[in-house]
Structure 1
């Protein structure tokens, strides 16, 4: 098949679409990218929702990107399907107008309404103008797609009744650079633990900060915290008693696989929000691919995805998280076993070519006309 990867996605900020493109190519498909990254990350978009008077800036940035996308789309070869990358809630509407007879595949990794609730932008009951706006954004995006890609069964079940038949589940997975970063051996010494994230309620970093405080005085465990965000200050304040924590604002996408792979343990999420119960975070797939042992919250999608190949702790339990880290510091053989199990599962289930297979099967059954017949611009 020939795919057109389309939109304002940024593979450095949001690697999911990069994994899908890599997987399609690894499976033997051709992928042509028509991509003009929007110069605004997720935190910036959230800030605009908190301060609506900044929305004209988003409209201007989006209009600039869309103008370039439309020009480049006209020059692109005909395709069997169009893949709209993650955070494509608006891009998919443009794609629908540009490629009227070509199947449109939307990577709907998160809903606008769910993200707004998780970040306390809207009321939990779903009332209010912002909640209605978020639902309108989601409905329009889903209505513009022929195939809706989600990452867990829980997200599939949450799709509206009219979109659910068009849904397909594809794990987030990890790119080849994460597998390549895996070291042949790790040196001894203190247990090296890493967390990478945006410090949102989904991540549960307030509980992580409490766990780090409990580990204060334990010179067998060193922790690296990468990123900044909504709950950063609270997390850092909670962990202030622990001098064996290193705080890094961020690292580049090129450097990140090597940094994570240099650690023994990669931490997942520990939040108690509704969203936290329904996701398997990108960092879990990446950490496993890099050969780290995984510790994350005990939720249905993470249990289903990781099986017995990770350590699970109750969401929101700082005490359980601290105990899990101590158990690995106490027992190098146990640590090595969990590292090996996570790495083996990643090779078997999380590689890019594997995670795209459900999408290719679904689109193959959706697309029946040759590209030249499908597409009118």
Structure 2
């Protein structure tokens, strides 16, 4: 099968990278690329030529604006992975756009038209699938769930940490609203008298400056904010965490997604605490391979103390998370799911 990966996309973005890594493990798949970052978006003859000798065209995450023109120019079946709703993200998550403004309508139409024009649409969770269906009236038969997963070859677990004096609750991310890093800071404030517990929050982004100011205002010495870490160094950083913190956002989007970090933590055989949400329960089971928490600082603090004081429980959770990810959600399994959708398109 010949698949063209097209549009304005980042091949190293985590979601896209996992799918491409997985597809490359399938002998029957031949990948080609027409990336607008390297080749002209407006060179229609070149784009048509790239489309001509393939069976299916795959548009990766965030290529909403490219679906319609590629579908019309190519005449080939299109498999689209929006990953996010631009309307949901900008209007309700980041709250950068007023709900009833022209910009909100523009983002709504970007979502709706791109999903309508695609032959099949990939959704990272069933919750997201249901949102696309109810909000944009996309038929359910076009919407298919492919979880984010993880390239388990790039995130191998390290030997268990030796006994040490400081218990590290770690997090990494872009400090975006759905991640709820403010909730983590409030949790650290509750636990500030536990001098043997330290919070290490890796990354930067949307709310990073606000979090820095909050840590300073609360005079918290139990939080470090080292900034961004390169992708190829993430596993080494996370292997130094005793437990890993997921997301604690209070937006609708936080209930619809399972973020990259949860899959990474699990691949590294780490015990995970995250917000209880409908999406997380699609893959993980509370107290078996994840520890779910009510989304309040006091509740999260209680869960951290539980794992800190019960090493056996912590180890069982970590082993359960590792087993779940390595059997069902590694990059090979994710690639196979996308391949099966491409086969379906080719024979439809």
Query: How far is 1:2 from its partner?
Result: 2.2
Counterpart Cα distance in 2 of 1:75 and 1:218: 60
Please give the alpha-carbon distance, in whole angstroms, between the structure 2 residues aligned to 1:65 and 1:264: 47
- In 2, distance between residues paired with 1:68 and 1:236? 46
Among 80, 94, 116, the alignment partner of 2:55 is 80
Q: Give distance in 1, aligned partners of 2:282 and 2:202.
A: 27
Structure 1 residues 37 and 198, CA gap change in structure 2 (3 angstroms): farther
1:60-139 aligned at under 5 Å gives the runs: 66-67=41-42, 71=46, 74=49, 78-100=53-75, 102-116=76-90, 117-123=92-98, 126-139=99-112
Equivalent-residue separation in structure 2 for 1:168 and 1:289 (angstroms): 24
Closer, same or farther: CA 207–72 of 1 in aligned 2, 3 Å: same
Alignment of 1:354 with 2:333, yes or no, is yes
Q: Which residue of 2 aligns with 1:364?
A: 343
SS of the residue corresponding to residue 272 of structure 2 reads strand
Answer whether contact 1:113 1:135 (CA < 8 A) is retained: yes
CA contact (8 A) 1:296 1:311 kept: yes
Aligned to 1:6: 6
Q: Does residue 230 of the first structure (1) align with residue 206 of the second (2)?
A: yes
Task: Report how far residue 220 of structure 1 moved.
Answer: 2.4
Where does the alignment leave 5 or more consecutive residues of structure 1 unmatched? 39-61, 370-377
Please tell me whether the aligned partners of residues 4 and 50 of structure 2 are also in contact (alpha carbons under 8 angstroms). Answer: no
Show CA shifts across 1:57-93 (max 9, x none).
Answer: xxxxx9x752479747735772221111101111223
- Which residue in the other structure is 2:26 paired with? 27
SS at structure 1 position matched to 2:342: helix
- The 2-side partners of 1:304 and 1:158 are apart by 15
* Counterpart position of 2:294: 314
Q: C-alpha separation between the residues in 2 aligned to 1:264 and 1:73?
A: 52
The answer on whether the counterparts of 2:246 and 2:275 sit within 8 Å (CA) in structure 1 is yes
CA displacement 1:222-260 (0-9 Å, x = unmatched):
222112223223333333433232212211122122222
Do the aligned partners of 1:217 and 1:242 also contact (CA within 8 Å) in 2? no
1:17 maps onto 2:16 in alignment? yes
Aligned partners of 2:178 and 2:105: how far apart in 1? Answer: 22
Large movers: runs of 4+ above 4 Å: 67-70
Q: 1:204 aligns with which of 169, 173, 180?
A: 180
TM-score, normalization: structure 1? 0.83
Give the Cα–Cα distance (whole angstroms) in 2 for the partners of residues 128 and 235 of structure 1.
29
CA 267–157 in structure 1, closer or farther in 2 if over 3 Å, else same: same
Q: Closer, same or farther in 2 for the Cα pair 1:11/1:314, shift >3 Å?
A: farther
RMSD: 2.3
Contact 2:5–2:35, Cα closer than 8 Å, also in 1: no
The answer to whether structure 1 residue 140 and structure 2 residue 113 are counterparts is yes
Matched, 1:167 2:167: no
In structure 2, how many angstroms separate the alpha carbons of the residues matched to 1:242 and 1:337? 31
SS of the aligned residue for 1:32 comes to strand
Q: Summarize deviations over 1:68-122 as a string: whole Å, max 9, x none.
A: 797477357722211111011112234224421x211111210110111210023
Q: Is the contact between residue 7 and residue 66 of structure 2 (CA under 8 Å) also seen in structure 1?
A: yes
Q: CA offsets per residue over residues 301-349 of structure 1, 9 Å max, x none?
A: 102211131011112x111111111112112222211111111111012
State the secondary structure of the residue aligned to 2:235: helix
SS of 2:244's equivalent in the other structure is strand
Assess if the C-alpha contact under 8 Å between 1:6 and 1:34 holds in 2: yes
Name the CA distance, whole Å, in 2 between partners of 1:238 and 1:29.
Answer: 52
Aligned length: 339
Give the direction of change, closer, same or farther, for the CA distance of 1:282–1:245 in structure 2 (3 Å limit).
Answer: same
Deviations 1:11-36 (A, max 9, x none): 44x21011111112223342424254
Counterpart in the other structure of 1:373:
none
Q: Distance in 1 between matches of 2:261 and 2:36?
A: 22
